[in-house]
Amino acid sequence: MNLYNTTRVTTESHSYAITADCAIFGFSDDALRVLIVRRAVAPFAGHWCLPGGAMSDDETLEQTASRLLRELVNVEGIPIRQVGTYSSPKRHPVRRVVTTCFYALVRPEDHTPNAQKYLDDARWCKLDEVPQLGYDHSQLLADAYQALQQELQQSPLAFQLLPNTFTLKEAQEVYEAIIGEDLDRRNFRRKILAYDFLINTEEKKAGVKGGPELYRVDDTKLENHL
Amino acid sequence: MNLYNTTRVTTESHSYAITADCAIFGFSDDALRVLIVRRAVAPFAGHWCLPGGAMSDDETLEQTASRLLRELVNVEGIPIRQVGTYSSPKRHPVRRVVTTCFYALVRPEDHTPNAQKYLDDARWCKLDEVPQLGYDHSQLLADAYQALQQELQQSPLAFQLLPNTFTLKEAQEVYEAIIGEDLDRRNFRRKILAYDFLINTEEKKAGVKGGPELYRVDDTKLENHL
DNA sequence: TTTTTCTGTGTACATTTGACACAATACAAA
DNA sequence: TTTGTATTGTGTCAAATGTACACAGAAAAA
């Protein structure tokens, strides 16, 4: 019997690297932003990329992505979602790397990114100012953004990147930044309040004409719509 | 320098197997069905599973899934969609296997499945009669079915598993089988015809009371709604 | 032929969505 | 303080969409 029978290839292990890449979205300065990092080493030294890293032996891809969030922006407990898995044989110039892309929503003002390891910079970049990214990460980001937009149509997950208390105007601006078009102020109010997970704090925001009311989310009720 | 430096793990390749598993849906005998195969060898010998196989060096996961469709049910050119990637370290009893699940829609009457290689049986199983599957494939199937349902709400891709000509009644039955609830006959007609990709063949189906009209799809127009 | 069952067509109603008017509030200018 | 201005909270109206149902015609079954 031929121990090197090539027909048994399907039962053999290969030497593929498996990684997770993250499109971490945040909202600050009236713009939707995504966290990008600059590589300090080859391949793609000096190029901006989505943060990513190899899956280790004892963790799932979801745990890998969560670990990246913890290491990069010190965020824990944030829900992440799969965008897709990218497996083109030529997508990595050195060796075969299959990656799964995730996206997450965080509050950038709470978490300053810290470049580390093989990175020399990290920043929150406006979505319409993102440069060409290394590998196929421009494609990953485009797909992640589309998944985010689609998700927002069906579940109000955008409230996860608002501060503890906020006005409906601020919430609307987040929505508009994500879906990329303007909304009617009054229709937005009606739709959001119908969800019934917002609590009017009975306080008014100072320094703004009109005296807008401040709201906060009822987390338990928000879960129902997520 | 320590050649076995474990801190360089992120730049090393690991011996993970990467596979694609397919939930291939079809419609026959008034029921939505999925193709399942029985394994002849360990692990899970004798257990039913979703068909799957290892990604080879020169193909993407999508090409792996397409190859499986060709080998199993002799289908080509069918669009496939990613469901998700499953990476639990313990999901395979022997070694680490990361799999990406796909789903597809075919016409089962056109394609008799042929068990081969390490399989000893293959059949189109009614979705509500699927036994407990090997590995985590019951989970994969549940997720694929949910993705299919969600997709159908937004694009009329169910017409891909109807014969060349069909009555609106038959199309409705496919819809009902997928989404799992009954629809109003007249509202369904109005909604589907509004899409404007159906062509009335001006012929009537024989052997059925009422003399239902036969339709066929205008493939180019269907693309617009897909 | 008569009856039964299914099909094609139309209608009335409720709900959701989109567009817009008006008065009240609070900051800004005088 | 008074007045002006930009923004907010609330309400209305019409269009679009979704839901429920009635009735006549067609083809098989009796």
Using the structure block, give the residue that is written with the tokens 């799957």.
B52
> Would you call B201 exposed, middle or buried from its count of C-beta atoms within 10 A (0-12, 13-18, 19+)?
middle
B144: nearest Cα among B130, B163, B160, B156? B130
Give the integer Cα–Cα distance in Å for A71 and A79: 16
**SS3 state of residue B3:** coil
pLDDT (mean) for B2-31? 69
Give the integer Cα–Cα distance in Å for B169 and B164: 14
Which residues make up the CATH 1.10.10.10 domain(s) of chain A?
157-224
Strand D neighbours (CB under 7 Å) are A 167-169, 185-186, 189, 208-213; B 184, 186-187, 190-191, 204, 206-211
Q: Evaluate whether A111 touches A75 at the Cβ level (below 8 Å).
A: yes
Q: Evaluate whether A133 touches A49 at the Cβ level (below 8 Å).
A: yes
Segment (H or E) for A50: none
Supply the DSSP symbol for B56: P
- DSSP state string for B135-158: TTHHHHHHHHHHHHHHHHHHS-GG
By Cβ distance, the residue of B54, B58, B98 closest to A18 is: B98
Q: B36: how many CB neighbours lie within 10 A of its CB?
A: 24
pLDDT for B112:
80
Using the structure block, give the residue that is written with the tokens 């090539």.
A6
Average pLDDT score over chain B:
89
Using the structure block, give the residue that is written with the tokens 């998944």.
A147
The shortest C-alpha distance from B122 to chain A (Å) reads: 19
pLDDT for B30:
84
pLDDT for B3:
33
- Going by pLDDT thresholds of 50, 70 and 90, the confidence category of residue A10 is very low
pLDDT (mean) for B172-198? 95
pLDDT (mean) for B180-196? 95
Q: Which CATH class is domain A157-224?
A: mainly alpha
Q: CA torsion sign, A150 to B136 to A22 to B13?
A: negative
- More confident of the two residues B33 and B15: B33
Q: Cis omega before residue B212 (within 30°)?
A: no
Tell me the chain B residues in contact with residue A88 when contact means C-beta distances shorter than 8 Å. Answer: 60
Average pLDDT score over chain A:
89
- Going by pLDDT thresholds of 50, 70 and 90, the confidence category of residue A14 is low
Query: What CATH number labels A15-154?
Result: 3.90.79.10
A39: nearest Cα among A25, A50, A28? A50
Residue B123 has pLDDT above 50, yes or no: yes
Q: B-side interface with A, Cβ within 8 Å? A: 9-10, 12-18, 53-62, 82, 84-85, 87-89, 95-96, 98, 100, 117
pLDDT for B77:
86
pLDDT (mean) for B132-158? 95
- Going by pLDDT thresholds of 50, 70 and 90, the confidence category of residue B14 is low
- CA dihedral A90→A92→A94→A95, nearest 10 degrees, is -80
Tell me the chain A residues in contact with residue B56 when contact means C-beta distances shorter than 8 Å. Answer: 9
By Cβ distance, the residue of A18, A87, A95 closest to B16 is: A18
pLDDT for A74:
85
pLDDT (mean) for A48-67? 96
Residue A47 has pLDDT above 70, yes or no: yes
Residue B28 has pLDDT above 90, yes or no: no
Which of A14-18, A138-142, A154-158 comes out lowest in average pLDDT?
A: A14-18
pLDDT (mean) for A116-138? 93
Taking one residue from A and the other from B, the number of pairs with CB-CB distance under 8 angstroms is 78
Topology of domain B14-153 in CATH is: Nucleoside Triphosphate Pyrophosphohydrolase (3.90.79)
**SS3 state of residue B23:** strand
Tell me the chain B residues in contact with residue A21 when contact means C-beta distances shorter than 8 Å. Answer: none
Which of A82-86, A115-119, A201-205, B12-16 comes out lowest in average pLDDT?
A: B12-16
> Would you call A156 exposed, middle or buried from its count of C-beta atoms within 10 A (0-12, 13-18, 19+)?
buried
Phi-psi domain of B167 (left: phi exceeds 0; alpha: psi -120 through 50; beta: other): beta
Give the integer Cα–Cα distance in Å for B94 and B105: 31
Give the integer Cα–Cα distance in Å for B155 and A7: 41
Q: Evaluate whether A82 touches A64 at the Cβ level (below 8 Å).
A: no
Residue A216: partners with Cβ closer than 8 Å, 6 or more residues away: A164, A165, A166, A198, A199, A201
Which residues make up the CATH 3.90.79.10 domain(s) of chain B?
14-153
The shortest C-alpha distance from B96 to chain A (Å) reads: 8
pLDDT for B143:
98
Give the integer Cα–Cα distance in Å for A68 and A78: 12
B10: nearest Cα among A12, A45, A55, A167? A55
pLDDT (mean) for B130-154? 96
pLDDT for A73:
84
Which residues make up the CATH 3.90.79.10 domain(s) of chain A?
15-154
The shortest C-alpha distance from A1 to chain B (Å) reads: 18
Q: Evaluate whether B32 touches B175 at the Cβ level (below 8 Å).
A: no
